[in-house]
C-alpha cells in the first residue's frame, strides 16, 4: 500500500495517529441532505453520536449546510444555529469526542471550534470565503482542504478538465502552499469526489488516488452513498452501502487515511480487513 509521510494530527492537544486509517462519521443537522438517513434531528444528535463512537468513529463530522447539487442557500446565522447546539450536546455527553465542523464559512468554523470542534472540514478548500485560511492559521486546528470548482449550486457545470488528476493536484497544491506560508501545520487533502466531477471522473480519480501522495499529506476520501455509486449500480442511495464499502476498500488500498462515511461500523471493518494485507 502507498505510504504517507505524515501520520499524526494535533487535535486540541491530542495526537491522532493515522498509521492505521480512521473513520469520520457524518451527522447532518440539515433537512435536505442527499441521503435522508444521515439527517439527524436535534433530539437524536447525542444518540447517533454515541452509536458512531461505539462503532469506532475517530471523528464526528457535523454539517448544517447541504452541499448536494442544487441545494438551496442557507445563511451563516442559520447554519450556525443548526450546528452549534449539536456540537455542544455531543461535547457535553462525550467530552473526548473529536468533532469536525463541515463548513466553508470561516465565521461558522470559528464559532464551532469555540464550542468544542477539533478540526474544520471545508468543501470549498478556501475558495468561497477569503478569510478561511487566516482563520485556520489563527485557530491552529487541522484543516481538510477539499478540491471544488464553483459553488454547490454551480459545480456540476464546471466538470471539464484537460487532465483531471494533474489539475486537481495543481489546484490543491496552490492552496496548500498558501496554507503553509501562513504557518498551518496539519492539513488533510480531499480530492472532492462528486464535487465538480462526473461519475466517470470520480472513478478515474479514485484509480489514480495514489498520485496525491506527492504532497505527503493524509488523504480523506468521501464516497459514501454518493451518486457515482448508486447511479452506476442502478439502485438508490439507501441501497448503496455495499457499493460504498467496495470503493472505500479501493481507497484504502491506495492510501486513504480517513474514510468519511454514513455507516461507521462497515467502514471500520473494511479498515480492519484491509490492514491484514500489509502483513504480506
Catalytic residues: 226, 260
Dist. CA 241–CA 243, nearest whole Å:
5
Grid coordinates in use for 194? 462528486
Which secondary-structure segment (H or E) carries 135?
Answer: helix 132-139
Give the list of residues 6+ apart from residue 119 with CB closer than 8 angstroms, or none.
9, 11, 59, 98, 99, 100, 101, 141, 142, 143, 144, 186, 188
Query: Helix, strand or coil for residue 119?
Result: strand
Which secondary-structure segment (H or E) carries 25?
Answer: strand 22-28
DSSP 205-231: HHHTGGGGGGG---BEE--TT-HHHHH
Tell me how crowded residue 7 is: count the other CB atoms within 10 A of its CB. Answer: 14
Q: What angle do CA 264, 83, 101 make, to 5 degrees?
A: 60
Q: Is the four-CA dihedral 258, 261, 265, 269 of positive or negative sign?
A: negative
Which secondary-structure segment (H or E) carries 69?
Answer: none
Amino acid at each position: 500500500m502507498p505510504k504517507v509521510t505524515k501520520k499524526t494530527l494535533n487535535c486540541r492537544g491530542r495526537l491522532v495517529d493515522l498509521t492505521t486509517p480512521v473513520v469520520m462519521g457524518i451527522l447532518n443537522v440539515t433537512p435536505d441532505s442527499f441521503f435522508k438517513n444521515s439527517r439527524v434531528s436535534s433530539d437524536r444528535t447525542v444518540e447517533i453520536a454515541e452509536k458512531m463512537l461505539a462503532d469506532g468513529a475517530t471523528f464526528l463530522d457535523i454539517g448544517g449546510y447541504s452541499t448536494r447539487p442544487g441545494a438551496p442557500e442557507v445563511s451563516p446565522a442559520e447554519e450556525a444555529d443548526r450546528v452549534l447546539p449539536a456540537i455542544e450536546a455531543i461535547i457535553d455527553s462525550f467530552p473526548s469526542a473529536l468533532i469536525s465542523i463541515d463548513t466553508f464559512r470561516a465565521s461558522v468554523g470559528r464559532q464551532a471550534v469555540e464550542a468544542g470542534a477539533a478540526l474544520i472540514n471545508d468543501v470549498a478548500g478556501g475558495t468561497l470565503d477569503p478569510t478561511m485560511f487566516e482563520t485556520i492559521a489563527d485557530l491552529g486546528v487541522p484543516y481538510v482542504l477539499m478540491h471544488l470548482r464553483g459553488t454547490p449550486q454551480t459545480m456540476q457545470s464546471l466538470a471539464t478538465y484537460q487532465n483531471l488528476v494533474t489539475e486537481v493536484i495543481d489546484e490543491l497544491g496552490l492552496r496548500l502552499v498558501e496554507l503553509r506560508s501562513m504557518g498551518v501545520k496539519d492539513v488533510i487533502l480531499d480530492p472532492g469526489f462528486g464535487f465538480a466531477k462526473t461519475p466517470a471522473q470520480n472513478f478515474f480519480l479514485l484509480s489514480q488516488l495514489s498520485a496525491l501522495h506527492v504532497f505527503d499529506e493524509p488523504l480523506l476520501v468521501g464516497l459514501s452513498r454518493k451518486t457515482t455509486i448508486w447511479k452506476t449500480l442502478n439502485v438508490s442511495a439507501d441501497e448503496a452501502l455495499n457499493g460504498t464499502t467496495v470503493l472505500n476498500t479501493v481507497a484504502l488500498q491506495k492510501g486513504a487515511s480517513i474514510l468519511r462515511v454514513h455507516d461507521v461500523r462497515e467502514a471500520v471493518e473494511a479498515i480492519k480487513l484491509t490492514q491484514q494485507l500489509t502483513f504480506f
